[in-house]
Amino acid sequence: MKYLLYELHLAQNMDGTNDEELDKLDNQWMEKAKKYKEVFSTLSDRLPQDIFNRFNSWGFHDYRLVKMEIEHKSLLHSNIHFTVSSDDVWILSFNNVSFFQFQHLNYDNDKPIYNREIDDWLYEEILPINESKLSFEFILSSGGNVLLHFPDKSVSMQKLK
């Protein structure tokens, strides 16, 4: 994540942070969120309109990641599907993914702030890589972090219920 940093989110939610430090962290968060929104707003023609609209607001914040599926057809044609659930269930799909990475930022932390087993969606970033490719990255409250690269307009979402 370039703007909505997991470390900053954790610092804002730690017990014992004094009011002055919390104000500083909040201001830092707001400044980074503002910069991200400026970059994201340039992507309106590179994403399907429903995707742009969804992630221009709350995205899937506070949804539970239910399933992550990699549909591997070849090294050039892998599709990745994320099933997320709250009061409704959605599948977010990326086609022709050229890069995929998963890491757990809290895996070795003996005293995490959040339960390392709960995969609630916190924040995501969609950023340009070049003139035809985008990156999508999200963090989960558990510390899980997913990053992938995909061609413009190669993302869709479907509401299941």
Q: What are the structural domain ranges in the chain?
A: 6-159
Coil, strand, or helix at residue 150? strand
Other CB atoms within 10 A of residue 93 CB:
19
Coil, strand, or helix at residue 70? strand
* Contact between 124 and 60 (Cβ < 8 Å): yes
State pTM to two decimals. Answer: 0.84
Q: How many residues does the chain have?
A: 161
Q: Which two tokens stand for residue 32?
A: 């980074």
* Contact between 136 and 148 (Cβ < 8 Å): yes
* Tens digits of residue pLDDT in 119-128: 888 889 999 9
How far, in Å, CA of 65 to CA of 21, rounded? 32
* Tens digits of residue pLDDT in 128-152: 999 999 999 998 888 888 999 999 9
